[in-house]
Each structure stands twice: as C-alpha cells, then as structure tokens.
Chain A
C-alpha cells in the first residue's frame, strides 16, 4: 500500500509516521527524488547514478550509499596514504575534494564534512596540515559509527587539543575551554548544563594534554586533579573519559546530535516539537549508532516530502561539487575549486570559529552569492585550469575603476571549451531533438527536476535569440541596471543627496528577435554557446542554490 502524501502542516504529522520508510506509489520514485537523495546523501548524482537508483529502488540505493562502492575500502587506504603528502593548506583541501568525488563513498565524505563543522577546528590556530589531516582521517573513521567513542577520540585528537588550549588546563588552574565546548557545541547544546558542571568537568580534564612535540595525546598525571568532582549531580574522582560518558548519558545529548543531523540531512526549518523524539530514542537505544539514524532519516517519508525538498541552502562545497558531478563529463582540476570555495565562505579546514560555519541563509551575502555566480560561470563555460587567461580580463589597476564599463573587445561567443569539461557533452548525450528537449535536459542536470513552465519559456526564448555578432558593439542589457552607461566620461554626475540614479535613455538598437525553432541548428557552435550561458543563468537561481 503506497504512502499518502504527508499533510502540509508538519505540526499535525504523527512523528512515528514521518520516520517510517517511504513506500512510493508506482512511478513516484522518480528522477526528482533520486536527485534529491543524492544531493543530500552525496555531492549530487551523475545521470547514470540516477538511472541505477531508479532501477534498484530506494532501499538498495540507500544501502549502497551507506556502504559505498565495492572497492571503497581499497580506495580509502590509498587516499589516506596519499593524504600524508599534501602539506600545505591548499593542496590538503584539494585532496579532500578529491576524496569527496573519487572515494567511492560519497556519503561517508558528506558526513565527514558535517562532523568537520560540528567539531569545527581550524588550521588558522592549529597551524599544521599534518594535524588537520590526522583529524580529518579520525573523523572519517568514526563518521558513521558510534558517537560516544567518536567524541572520546576527538577529545584526544591533537589538533583539537591545540585548538582548545588543552595544555593550559592544569591542576589548580583549570582552563575551561574544552570543557565548555564539549558540552555546549559537541554534545549537549547551550543551556543544558550549569557553569558549575563546566568548572568541574574542566578539573576532570586537567592533564589531558598533547606531548611537547605536538604529535599526539599524552595524559599528564602530575598535572591532573585527582580530587572528587560533581558533574550533572554525580560525584566521583572523574577523569577525561568520565566527562565524555557523563555528557553522552545526558538526555540532551541524543536530541542535540539528532537535531543537528536533521538540519544537515533533512531540513533547516526548525522541526515542530516532538518530531525528532522517535529519532532521539532510536539513537539512544542503538548506542548512538550514527549510520542507523542517518539511514532512518534518508529512508523516511518525511525526507521524500515537500517538508524536506529544497529546504536547505546548499553549503558551498555542495554548490561547487553538485554541478561538477551532474554536468561536467570528466574530472576537473579540483585545485581550481579551492579558491572559489573560500570566496563562497567555506575554506575547508578553516571554519571561522569553534561554532563552525554559519549555515542556512547566513551562507548568502553579496560577496558569497557573487562567488557562487562566478563559479557557476566557470562550470557552465568550461573555463577550467587556473592558468587560462581570460581574454577580456586584462589587468585592471585600481586607478582605472571605470575600465569595466569600456566596450569589451570580445563580445561574440567564446571558443568552445575542451569537450571533456564541456557541459554540452553531457547535455547532448541524450540527443535532444528540439530546443525544448535541451531545456528539459538542463533542468534534469542542474536542478534534478523539471523547470517551471514560465522559466522554461524564458530559457527557450534566450536560446533562440542570436547573440551579438563578434566585433559588434555590446548591446545594452534589456533589463539594464540604473546608471549603466558605456561612456563614463560623458556621464552626468548627480549630487549624492538625490539618491540612486536613473538609467540614461537606452541606446536605440533593434532588439534581437528570437528565431524560428526550425531555423536553429542545435549542433551549431553558436547555439551551444548559448546553452552554456543558459546553464550559467540557471545556476544563479534559487532552484540551484537550494538543496
């Protein structure tokens, strides 16, 4: 009996129902939901992965995501070994991006990214790629296993010990940094403990140090406070492991972790009261088995519902790798992704502070959104490899700010990119017969979904409209911005107090008209150039920014 659609008011949904595995009606398990699953549980899907998911069904697809490819273990060994040799931050970041795409176990990498944000540690203070790498390996080992052991090992991780000043925590002069964060950020959430609990936990963690060479954990018995401590109302001669255990036993712990996983995998909209209770109970009962809770989430009716669909803002890593996976036919130089990611606000191994990145709508400000738009252009136009010098981007000095308004030398279609990085290769793989087919295919690849009819119409019109001939004066943008004028020196400056400027009268130029579809050659270079441009525009829309 296939499931009915969940009511639109999540507050009225019985939590137990929400987390039952989804039994789709015939045909309901389609490309849209497969793409949704792969965007959340991985870094997007290739068209072939979607086909495979549709043919084997949901349970097998999720099992495969949880287990990885058959050779994922071998690949992991190789990757881990190789990672030791990436000894500067940029190449370590490239290494991890490579693991995300090539490890054969994208869900493990995805949740490793989640935990990297949860146990946010930054190279900015740790100052050692070796320690950051080791922490990354440790996170990956535990990412889908049991949380208490994970938390214990993280508390002994060298990078973490440096990050939270553990060596300054000594008998008689406790430093509360780690004790506070282990409760507030790593296990319980703010307000689920008293200041006294933190002070006592800090005492229990005294002597929990790294060695003088800063290579490994070392328990300094001499600097450990062996006295009695009272934490969460329990008294004993507690040490570090006791603090971890006591935190995990708190009722707040499974709720806190499940809540964070929910906002990462399901929705950034705060859940109604009680919705997560069954998950918290399951998490506790399973000895905090992370894989099992992730499986429940990803299989659920709620996950495959409008309550989850596009209810998250893509993290920059998801934004960058999603289009690459879905649309670029071959491997791209991932070192090209590192700098754009920083501009989008997510330099891996360098979260802004111990709270991690500010996610959700906080990802998007003018600078980060522009970085997303510009990265989208790189993907759409296939401009890979940092060495390519863009023809219209000659060096502009600070003293010549008006240069961007000068007529561009190059206005025609740029040369097509190398076929292996050309998204047209992927788009044309299904042999589109019409402009409509091309737009449909773009929607599948970039949104994992059909494009809204009104938008599809606009995209078709764009694709049918010839661009300016090479060498011609650039046309005034139809929806030009106020004040845009190519001839700056004739611009009439207005006093500031009059507020934003009005556009000067647009130059009279006959607007290009869309051609008749039968006059358009889908295979022509000119048309393909417009297809790439349309792909860029599509990646500047909420349908792409949301996950």
Chain B
C-alpha cells in the first residue's frame, strides 16, 4: 500500500481532486494541495507584449549622450535631466520609473538595435515578419504557435493564451487546439444549455472510476477533471478582477463617463494582473500574449507616447511586484514592436515609420542590463538607424534557454544566442522576495491609476 501522498499524486492526481473540491472532504483537499505544492519545478512562462503601431525606440531608450539625438528631434528630444539614466549615454523615457527600477534590480534586459534585413515599413508587412519570424513571410503559422508542438505542458494546461478581443495574433495562429483566446469567453467555457448545474455534477460524478489502474481510461478521466480545474482557475482569476475595489474615479472619454479600474481587462495593467493571477494558480499555460496599441505616433507624439510608456512601465512593474517567490522565478516578459521610428522628427511633432528598435526582456532569471550597443545616430539608412541584432536571435534565446523548445525547429535555422537568460540566478537581496511585501526598490508599490482606453 503506497502512502497517502503517492496516492494523491499518482492515482487521482492532486489537481483533479481539487476539481471536485465541493464534494471532497476538506482534509483530502488540503492534502491534495500539499501534494501539488510538492511537485517538481513548474514550467517556465513567457508573457509577450506587442506594442502595436511601431514604438519610437529612440524616445524609449534615449541616447541622450549623443548630440545628434537632440539635433534630430528639436521638439521631442528629452534633455539629460529628464531621462531616467541607465549610464552616461542611455536613459529611459521619463515615465518609465517602474521599468527603471527593474533595470536597477538587474531584472530588465534592454536589447538594442534589433531588426531584420531590408526592413519593411508597412505596419502589416513588418508585423507579419516579426510574428512569423520570417523576413520572407512564407508560411502562415506564427513563431509562438510553431513552438507549441515541441513544448512540455505540465498539468495539461492550455499551452498558449491570447488576452484581447481582436483576432488571434499571427504569432499565435496555426497551433490548433493549443491556443485559446480569452476575449471569446464562449471558446473556453463548458457549454451546458438548460439543466446546467446537475449536468455538470453528473459529468464529474460519472468521471470517477477505478483509477488505481494506470490505464488509458484513468488518464482520460484525469484530464477531464483537470480541464474543469483549468476552467475554474480562469473563472476565479477573472472573478478576482471583478471584485477588486473600485477607486471610484473616472473620466470622460468621447463624451462617455468611463470608470477607472486598475483591474479593468481592457487595459494592459488589467490583463497583466489577470495573467499574474492565472500563473499563481498554476494554470499550466506557458505563453501569454497581450497587445498595447497606439504607438503609431505621427503627430503630437509627446503626450501620447508618454502615456503609453507610462502604462507599459507601471503595468510591467506591478505585474512583477504581484508575482510571488517561485512564480516570479518562472516568468519572463518580452516586449516588441513591428518597427522603430525615423530618427528625425516630422513637421507635426511626431515621427514617421522607421526601422530597428529596442526590445525589453524582464524577469528574475533575466540577465539585466544593456545588450548590444546603441545604433549609431549618424550612420543611417534612409534616415533610419541600422539594426545590428536580428530579432530571431532574441527568439532563439527565449526558445532554447527559456521555453526549452528547439529553436532550429521553430525558426528553421540556427541563430546565435544572446546572453539574456540565467536560470541559476538568485533574486538580488533587497528586491521583492516571497510574499511580495516590498515593492521595487524596497519602497511601497507604486500605484499608477490606469486610464481606460475605450469602452
């Protein structure tokens, strides 16, 4: 007779036992939780933030130490005293305080001069290139989708999840059955038309059987119950968003009064908050994908861009602050945009489509710091900076070193990897430890109210 822990882990399985929490005596349910916590290391998670519209890399990671920068941008350039200095040449946009804190904690890699040969300046084309990971735009499945078949998924979770109400991003397309979209709630809900409650109970009741045998039927039963656990975890994570205290504030947008709610799921911060909760519930999803739109700043860039980067920075900062101990260690967050913008500002206090830009990679296991040189401000092609790091090198590094997926199989070629990930890295002292009590830099978490984009 095996011991109770083995029974819980090996036969019915901890998460399936939790799935029927309502009918399982509490002592069994808590024993199951304990067994689940004793499981080996959880899978790593990648969160991707797409900055839609072409983020102005030069006003994100500002080369304030270069006179050419100020010359090219008479109205848009930031002065030395404005930027959040990374060193005596680079500074972050003034609104990126929280990401600066991550940088200071060595949890943020700033990858400079990322691009691809013969840059395309069409939003659509360039976004496709980044998402297909193919400058030739051959094929129709995205790079994240292609990584899913080779990925291990513990706990039978959904491999990939897109949070948003747009169509599935190209990067996630082509992984049939491997990606869900959480805007389309019906796609991840058990349909029970009519007599719902009793029928759900019946399904769970019927899905019990002689699970002592480790046969195929027992496996399927366990998966079935795990599926309901996953559904429940998502429901719970969503409900916690809905129950967060409303700060009571609001603003008029397009003549309508819109409540400001930090957990509103139309905002980046709300989406990242939901992702954080799902990660902490061990949902088993390995890739989360979200978008932040509005970066196509052809005119009046200053205010819009500041708001966007402020949103990004506080959302990312709050996301990592809320992740506790072991969960923080298994999460990496990447940002990218389809292109950067022209070095010279245009006549409308904005910038036009350019090429080459920067990417961010954040996480406790990320090797923080500047990666690669800032591209030259004088050696330009068609008025754009020149990239020196192929974006697929970043992808390859994340695939091989973080997700544990063979990058050659996904990218169709071998790319030299970058020193971005250190799986043995310990969280530096003074940073937020387990429990997440201390905010970045040891101070209280910075709360930045999230304006709502649009109802």
Contact = CB atoms under 8 A, between A and B. Distances in A.
Interface of A: 122-125, 127, 268, 310-311, 313, 316, 342-347, 350, 352-353, 355, 358, 361, 363-371, 373-374, 377-378, 381, 383, 390, 392-393, 396-399, 401-405, 408, 410-414, 452, 455, 458-459, 462, 465, 467-468, 474-484, 488-489, 491, 493, 496-497, 499-503, 506, 512, 529-530, 533-534, 536-538, 540-543, 545-546
Given A399-B264, A500-B281, 17 more contacts: A125-B140, A361-B216, A365-B153, A366-B227, A369-B224, A398-B183, A414-B194, A465-B198, A467-B198, A479-B201, A482-B18, A493-B240, A502-B21, A512-B198, A537-B202, A542-B217, A543-B217
Interface string B201-213: 1111111010000
A483 B157 CA distance: 19
Contact of B185 (A377, A396, A411): A396
Interface in B258-311: 264-266, 277, 280-281, 284
Nearest to A370: B227
B33 interface: yes
A455 B206 contact: yes
B197 A367 contact: no
Contacts of B216: 268, 310-311, 313, 361, 542, 546
Contacts of A365: 153, 156-159, 177-178, 223
A344 B176 CA distance: 7
Contacts of A530: 195
CB-based closest 8 A-B pairs: A345-B177, A477-B197, A542-B220, A482-B21, A401-B238, A467-B195, A542-B217, A366-B230
B176 A343 contact: yes
A350 B198 contact: no
A543 B218 CA distance: 11
Contacts of B158: 365-367
Contact of A491 (B192, B230, B243): B243
B149 to A, nearest CB: 5
A412 B187 CA distance: 23
B118 interface: no
Contact of A502 (B26, B149, B163, B228): B26
A178 to B, nearest CB: 15
Contact of A399 (B180, B266, B435): B266
B40 interface: no
Report, as a range, how many residues of chain B touch the other chain: 35 or more
Nearest to B183: A398
B429 interface: no
Contacts of A489: 242-243
B226 A412 contact: no
Contacts of A377: 191-193
Contacts of A482: 18, 21-22, 232, 236
Contacts of B409: 353
Nearest to A452: B209
B349 interface: no
A476 B23 CA distance: 13
A501 B205 CA distance: 21
B164 interface: yes
Interface in B213-267: 216-221, 223-224, 226-228, 230-233, 235-236, 238-244, 264-266
Nearest to B221: A542
B173 to A, nearest CB: 9
Interface of B: 18-23, 26, 29, 33, 138-141, 146, 148-149, 153, 156-159, 163-165, 174-180, 182-183, 185-207, 209, 216-221, 223-224, 226-228, 230-233, 235-236, 238-244, 264-266, 277, 280-281, 284, 322, 324, 409, 435, 455
B353 to A, nearest CB: 27
Contacts of B455: 399
A383 B193 contact: yes
B324 A497 contact: yes
Q: Most chain-A Cβ atoms within 10 A of its Cβ — which of B179, B198, B200? A: B198
A374 B177 CA distance: 13
B372 to A, nearest CB: 32
Nearest to A268: B216
A467 B238 contact: no
Nearest to A536: B199
Contact of B197 (A316, A480, A496, A546): A480
B211 to A, nearest CB: 10
21 contacts: A125-B140, A310-B216, A316-B177, A343-B177, A345-B177, A350-B174, A352-B148, A367-B180, A369-B224, A377-B191, A377-B192, A399-B455, A458-B205, A488-B243, A493-B240, A496-B280, A499-B33, A500-B233, A500-B236, A530-B195, A543-B217
A261 to B, nearest CB: 20
Nearest to A492: B243
A3 to B, nearest CB: 24
A545 B224 CA distance: 10
A479 B18 CA distance: 12
Q: Most chain-B Cβ atoms within 10 A of its Cβ — which of A370, A381, A390? A: A370
Contact of A411 (B153, B157, B194, B238): B194
A467 B182 CA distance: 31
Nearest to A543: B217
B137 to A, nearest CB: 11
B197 A475 contact: yes
Contacts of A493: 240, 243-244
A391 to B, nearest CB: 8
A412 B195 CA distance: 6
B324 A353 contact: no
A533 B202 CA distance: 10
Given A374-B191, A404-B235, A477 B227 contact: no
A458 B26 contact: no
Nearest to B323: A496
Contact of B23 (A125, A310, A479, A533): A479
Contacts of A316: 177
A529 B186 contact: no
Contacts of B33: 499-500
A350 B139 CA distance: 11
A352 B174 contact: yes
Nearest to B185: A396
A477 B201 CA distance: 6
Contact of A397 (B159, B165, B322): B165
A346 B175 CA distance: 10
Given A365-B158, A366-B158, A397-B165, A345 B178 contact: yes
Contacts of B206: 455, 458-459, 537-538, 540-541
Contacts of B175: 352
Contact of A364 (B183, B220, B230, B244): B220
A286 to B, nearest CB: 32
Q: Most chain-A Cβ atoms within 10 A of its Cβ — which of B194, B239, B243? A: B194
A198 B435 CA distance: 55
A411 B193 CA distance: 8
Contacts of A347: 176
Q: Most chain-A Cβ atoms within 10 A of its Cβ — which of B182, B243, B244, B409? A: B243
Given A364-B156, A468-B195, A127 B266 contact: no
A529 B194 contact: yes
Given A124-B141, A401-B239, A491-B243, A474 B197 contact: yes
Contacts of B188: 367, 370
Contacts of A465: 198
Nearest to B199: A533
A345 B193 contact: no
Contacts of A512: 198
Contact of B284 (A352, A366, A496): A366
A401 B242 contact: yes
Contact of B138 (A125, A381, A398, A480): A125
A454 to B, nearest CB: 8
Given A479-B20, A546-B216, A496 B174 contact: no
Contacts of A476: 197
A410 B175 CA distance: 35
Contacts of A392: 193
